[in-house]
Structure formats: structure tokens, C-alpha cells
Chain A
Amino acid sequence: NAGVTQTPKFRVLKTGQSMTLLCAQDMNHEYMYWYRQDPGMGLRLIHYSVGEGTTAKGEVPDGYNVSRLKKQNFLLGLESAAPSQTSVYFCASSYPRTSGNEQFFGPGTRLTVL
């Protein structure tokens, strides 16, 4: 099993450009998440999905959109990139249980917006 994979690994954008980050998981997990990680700050939730065809806003959703057309894939889009979106982006997935819900993370995408 590959677990959670993310593409691309690195990307440099100019202000105003758009891009899509792809996350895929092969663990048949229902829930998927997008986080960003910045120096001196904990992981912050951007958007999440509790199942195919559903998405919801997290803590810092502005400037991002997501889609989950297939259970195994979760896409994060930046329509008009800004320097404040320079960050490392992590995708995660989990299988919901009545108690606890450990998330499994991908390797990350390092995005720089100039």
C-alpha cells in the first residue's frame, strides 16, 4: 500500500497564478483533510471531506477550494495564488471511529508564491 500520496512535491508560482494539488489514498478511508504548516504554527486545517462528493471549510479556508469526486482523491485548488499562501501543504486521511480518529499524512507539497 502506498498510503497517502501527494503531487507535486514542490512548486513555485507567481502571484495570481492558479494550481491544483492532488492527494490520493489507497486505504479506503472515508475522511480526507488538507492542512498547511507554517514555521512557528501548528498544522492548520484548510478544508476537509467526510465522504465522496462532500467538502467543508476548516480553520483557514479563504483562497482555497477543494473537490472530492472520488473517494480516494482530494484536490486542493488555488485560484489566484498570493505570497501568504507560501507554505507546506499536507493531505491526510482517516477512518472514522466512535472514539479517536488517527490521521495518516502524505509527504507534503512545498509551495512558494513569488
Chain B
Amino acid sequence: EDQVTQSPEALRLQEGESSSLNCSYTVSGLRGLFWYRQDPGKGPEFLFTLYSAGEEKEKERLKATLTKKESFLHITAPKPEDSATYLCAVLNSGGYQKVTFGIGTKLQVIP
């Protein structure tokens, strides 16, 4: 069974204090690893898809990386508006489009 574990569960940063969120996964054939951002009371917002180990993608202050067992979401010089819950998910190579989500990391950036 596919599994996604995210750590830490919660992270509190000062504005400008860079850090990383971790997503460890086990999946029967990875077709894609996704990062989403979810604000309170809203639906998840797509950020990145990573397909293979060694791949990296960037968007503003966010950079996602992928290895064979885990993915990192690096946040450089975060701002208060980066506060949100970040979800990681994996898509396996099975017969249907089954995506397994982690519980998420709740990030709070303090001015």
C-alpha cells in the first residue's frame, strides 16, 4: 500500500528564516509526486509535479526536490503570506489514477 509521511507536522519560522519540509514516500512505481498548498477554509492549490529522482522545480521562494525515497520543499526567506498547510501526494503506476496524500505540514511565518 502506498504511504506518504510528512514532517514536521507543524513549523513556525521567523520571516526570512529559510527551512525545508520533508515528504517520505513508499509507492509501487512512482508516476508523479505532487506538492500542494492549502489555505484555511480553501481547497488545495497545485504547486509542483516531480517525476523522477534528481528533478527540481522552483516557484518564487519555493523549491521542490525529489529523491527515490523522499521529497523536500525548500522555503527560502519566507514571508508571512507563505503561511499555509503544504500537502505532498504521490501517484502510482497502477491501473487507475490513485493519488495518496500526506497529512501535511502546517507552516506559520511570523513577521
Task: Give the docked Cα–Cα distance between A103 and B97 (Å).
Answer: 10
- Give the distance to chain A from B106, nearest Cβ to Cβ, in Å: 12
Task: Give the docked Cα–Cα distance between A48 and B91 (Å).
Answer: 15
Known contacts A45-B98, A48-B96, A48-B97: does B43 contact A99 (CB below 8 Å)? no
Task: Give the docked Cα–Cα distance between A96 and B31 (Å).
Answer: 12
Q: Is B87 an interface residue (CB 8 A)?
A: yes
- Give the distance to chain A from B15, nearest Cβ to Cβ, in Å: 28
Known contacts A105-B44, A107-B42: does B103 contact A100 (CB below 8 Å)? no
Q: Is the CB of B100 within 8 A of A42?
A: yes
Within 8 A of B (CB), among A26-81: 31, 40-45, 48, 50, 56, 58
Q: Is the CB of A102 within 8 A of B34?
A: yes
Q: Which B residues are in CB contact (< 8 Å) with A107?
A: 42-43
Interface size on B, residues (CB 8 A): 25
Please give me the 7 A-B residue pairs with the lowest Cβ-Cβ distance, nearest first. Answer: A100-B32, A105-B43, A42-B101, A43-B101, A100-B49, A105-B44, A102-B46
Within 8 A of B (CB), among A72-98: 90, 92, 94, 96
Q: Is the CB of B42 within 8 A of A42?
A: no
Task: Give the docked Cα–Cα distance between A107 and B4 (Å).
Answer: 23
Task: Give the docked Cα–Cα distance between A96 and B96 (Å).
Answer: 10
Q: Is A7 an interface residue (CB 8 A)?
A: no
Q: Is B10 an interface residue (CB 8 A)?
A: no
Known contacts A50-B97, A100-B91, A101-B91: does B103 contact A40 (CB below 8 Å)? yes
Q: Which B residues are in CB contact (< 8 Å) with A105?
A: 36, 43-46
Task: Give the docked Cα–Cα distance between A107 and B42 (Å).
Answer: 5
Q: Is the CB of A102 within 8 A of B32?
A: yes
